Structure 1
Amino acid sequence: MKPADVLSPDPAGGTESGGSWVAGLVPNPIALRCLSVELRAPREIVAGEPAKFVLRIRNRAPIPLAVRLPTSRLWGWDVDGVPDADERRFEPPETPRQVAFPRRGIRQFEGTWDGQIRRSGIDGDEWRPQPGTHTLTGYLATSKNTSNLQDSVQITVLTR
C-alpha cells in the first residue's frame, strides 16, 4: 500500500492548508520544536502479511506553522535503521519542500510493513523475512532527526 497523507480537521477552525500568513512568521527551528510525533503500530506481525502503521505529526502550537524540509520527502520510516525496509537505499530529490500545519492540527501518514527486508540479489531484488524483534521508527524528514520529530515501537515478526 502506498503511504497516504491525511490532514485531520482543525478543531480550532483554521484552514485545511494551514496557509495563514502567521505560519510564515515563525522561524523554522522554533516551528519544528512545536511539533510532536507519534507512531502507532501492531506489536506483532506475521512475515509476508502486510501490517498497517500510522505516523501522526501534531502541531501543538495555538497558531498555524509552516516548516521547511530539505528534500521533497515529508516523512519516512525505517526498520532497524534500514529506510523503508529496503537496503537498496532511496534518495529523494534535493528539492526543498515546505509543509503547513494548522493550529493544533494533525497530519497523519499511513504505511505498511510485512516483516521483510528488500535486498539486492543475484537474480534481482529479493524480499527476505526478518523473524524476531525489530525497531520500527517513523519520522518527519528534517535534515536532523531530533527526538521530538521521531517515534519508535518494537515489533515482533513471527513466521508461520
Structure 2
Amino acid sequence: MRRIYESRALEYDDEDPYAPKRTSDDERSRKPIDWASASHAFVPMRLRPRAVGVSVETDRQRYETDEPVRFRVSFRNRVPFPIALRTDSPVRWTWSIDGVDEASRVTNHPTEDSLFRFSRSETKTFKRSWSQRFRESAQRWEPAGPGEYSLAVRVNVPDADDKGLTAETTFTIE
C-alpha cells in the first residue's frame, strides 16, 4: 500500500484523469494562500462595509397581543472573496425594537472588539423571536401595547447607519 502513495499513482491530471499528475518542485514548495487573511490585508477598511448586505424580515405583518414576533436576519457577502469587519464587541450584530436594543433597557455587552468574518459570497442567516415584552430590569418585563413597531438590525460597528450595515422593517400588534 505504501508504494502506491509514494509512486503518486493516485494523483491525476485535470485534462486526462487516467494519467498521473505532473508536478514540479516549484509547485510542491508553494504554500496555499490564506484568502481570508489576504483579503483582510488588501481590501481597505473603508470598502469592507460596502461588501456586506443586511436584511431583516418578519414572518407576518400583523400579530395578536402576546404572540411571539418571529424574524429572520441575513448578512450577505456580496463579493467573491472573504471579508472581515471589525466589531465593537464579540456581539457581532444586534437588533432593536423602536430603538431599544434587544428590547432590553439592561445592557450587558462586553467591551472588547472582535471580527465578523464572511467567506466568499457567504450568507449568514439567524432566526430570532420577540415575546412582545420590554425588559426594564433583571426581573421586570413590560408588555408592548397595540400599535406599529419598528424592528431594526445593525452590525455592531461604529457608524453602522452611515456604512449601510443596517436594515429595518415594521409590523403591527393588534
Q: Where does residue 93 of structure 2 map in the other structure?
A: 75
Return the match for 2:55 from 33, 38, 57. 38
Q: Where does residue 3 of structure 1 map in the other structure?
A: none
Q: Which amino acid aligns with 2:99?
A: G
Q: Where does residue 150 of structure 2 map in the other structure?
A: 135
Q: Secondary structure at the match of 1:117?
A: strand
How many residues align? The count is: 138
Instruction: Please give the per-residue CA displacement for 1:121-146, whole angstroms capped at 9, x wherever unaligned.
Output: 9xx41231321001110111112122
Q: Where does residue 110 of structure 1 map in the other structure?
A: 127
Q: Secondary structure at the match of 2:140?
A: strand
Matching of residues 1-160 of structure 1 within 5 Å: 20-25=36-41, 26-41=43-58, 42-88=60-106, 90-120=107-137, 124-146=139-161, 148-158=164-174
Counterpart Cα distance in 1 of 2:167 and 2:88: 20
Residue pair 2:133, 2:141 contacting (<8 A) in 1 also = no
1:21, CA displacement in angstroms? 2.7
Q: Which amino acid aligns with 2:89?
A: T
Counterpart Cα distance in 1 of 2:145 and 2:101: 15
Q: Which amino acid aligns with 1:153?
A: T
Q: Secondary structure at the match of 1:92?
A: coil
Gaps of 5+ in 2: 1-33
Higher percent of residues as helix: 2
State the percentage of identical aligned residues.
23
Higher percent of residues as strand: 1
TM-score, L = length of structure 2: 0.72
Q: CA RMSD in A?
A: 2.0
Relative contact order higher in (CA < 8 Å, ≥ 6 apart): 1
Counterpart Cα distance in 2 of 1:131 and 1:150: 25
Gaps of 5+ in 1: 1-17
Q: Where does residue 14 of structure 1 map in the other structure?
A: none
Counterpart Cα distance in 2 of 1:145 and 1:43: 26
Counterpart Cα distance in 1 of 2:127 and 2:94: 10
Q: Where does residue 4 of structure 1 map in the other structure?
A: none
TM-score, L = length of structure 1: 0.77
1:32, CA displacement in angstroms? 1.1
1:19, CA displacement in angstroms? 6.3
Rg (Cα) greater in structure? 2
User: Where do 4+ consecutive residues of structure 1 move more than 3 Å?
Assistant: none
